[in-house]
Each structure stands twice: as structure tokens, then as C-alpha cells.
Amino acid sequence: MNKKKWLVISLLVGILIISGFYQYLSNVSKQEQKNILKKDTISYLVGTGYDEETDIKDIFILDFHEQIDNDEIDKYQAIVTLENEPDKWYFYTYKKNTKELIQFDLINNKIIELQEHKE
């Protein structure tokens, strides 16, 4: 092969490697954001009197922001079910562009400000 073909092939391989690495970093960042939201939600619930082991049944982190018609909430939502209310879901997220944890009322499409708690 001549030099031009090698250069083109090298550039294409380089672009593929860089885009793959970028995608990997993006996925790691998304998972980290989800883990931080879950940790902050658990911390809030424990700070308000819930026991992580006995009161909290499940916490799922999902991306509903495109389905929810509210520009004030962040991308990911923590969906919490409690042992004593297994059929009720509580939605927690951050206010958009902040790290202020809020509860979101999905039915009424409104934000519920959380009270500060002392640890």
C-alpha cells in the first residue's frame, strides 16, 4: 500500500479508538452520577429517621427526564419504595444544575422542597 492509504487507515483507526474511549468515559460518568444520587437519597432518608436495612425496600435510579414535563429537575431520578408502603413510589432527584436534593411529585408535576436534616 502507498503512504496515503496507510495515513487514511491510521486516521480512521485513531478516530475509532478515540470515540470508543470517549464513550467509555461517558458511561463511567453516567454511572457515577447515578451512584451519587443513590447515596445522597439514602443519606437523606436515613437522616430523616428511616433505617437503610429495615425501612428501605428498593432504590432504582432511572432516567425519566424526557417523559416528565418539568424543566426544573435533573436527568436521573431515584425511585424509592419503603417496606411499609410497597405499592407507593417516592421520586427523588436534584434541582437542575444544582446538587440540591428534592422530592418530585410525579402525579402533580411539582417539586417538593426537602427539609434539612441533622446528622
- pTM as predicted: 0.69
Residue 42: the pLDDT is 94
**For residues 77 and 65, what is the distance between their CA atoms, to the nearest angstrom?**
8
The dihedral of CA 68, 71, 73, 75: what is its sign?
A: positive
Look at residue 119 in the predicted model and tell me its pLDDT.
Answer: 42
Q: Decide if 68 contacts 90 (C-beta within 8 A).
A: no
pLDDT single digits (tens) 22-63: 777 666 678 888 999 999 999 999 998 999 889 999 999 988
Whether residue 107 has pLDDT greater than 90? no
Residue 15 has pLDDT above 70, yes or no: yes
The per-residue pLDDT for 37 is 92
What is the domain partition of the chain in residue ranges?
Answer: 3-113
